[in-house]
Amino acid sequence: MITWQLKPFIELTTIQLYQLLKLRVDVFVVEQQCPYPELDDKDHKKGVYHLLGYDGDQLVACTRLLPKGVSYPSVSMGRVAISADHRGGGIGHQLLAEALRNCQSLWPNESIEIGAQEYLTSFYTQHGFVKTSETYLEDDIPHIDMKLAK
């Protein structure tokens, strides 16, 4: 059973911040072998929230929710990560459903734009997102822009 917490940056404990950054680096930098600027100055911007999914005291899933104008003209989500040992059991779908619910609560009736890794296109499509761009490379990984219109 995953326990979800939604927090702005200022409310993250030092342990939570460490766990969050470690999970993201483990997935995006180490596992995907992609050195990229993980600390992009968006985590602490006004209105940004971090959705944390815990299995006991272990952080196993996370994403950040961003207000309009931080990454896209619309509300957006990014840095969606699931620990390798918790994949395949539906936690990704739970994370996305929880993220969408929280976006709706924070920013009612707003569209959501994302830059998804291309191999996850069908995953996001299952949640109502549609492609809005051709494939492009970001940090040498194929991505595609997608949008959930409201």
Residue 97 belongs to domain with CATH number: 3.40.630.30
Comparing C-alpha atoms, which of 26, 32, 132, 33 is closest to residue 73? Answer: 132
The pTM score is 0.94
Report in angstroms the alpha-carbon separations of 53 from 103, 109, 115, 137: 16, 24, 21, 29
Residue 139, pLDDT score: 85
What pLDDT digit, counting tens, does each position of 62-119 carry? 999 999 999 999 999 999 999 999 998 999 999 999 999 999 999 999 999 999 999 9
What pLDDT digit, counting tens, does each position of 11-55 carry? 999 999 999 999 999 999 899 888 888 889 999 999 999 999 999
Residue 49, pLDDT score: 98
Residue 48, pLDDT score: 98
Q: Is pLDDT at 133 greater than 90 in this prediction? A: yes
The count of domains in the chain is 1
Give the C-alpha separation, 89 to 83, whole Å. 12
Residue 150, pLDDT score: 79
What is the domain extent for residue 99? 3-148
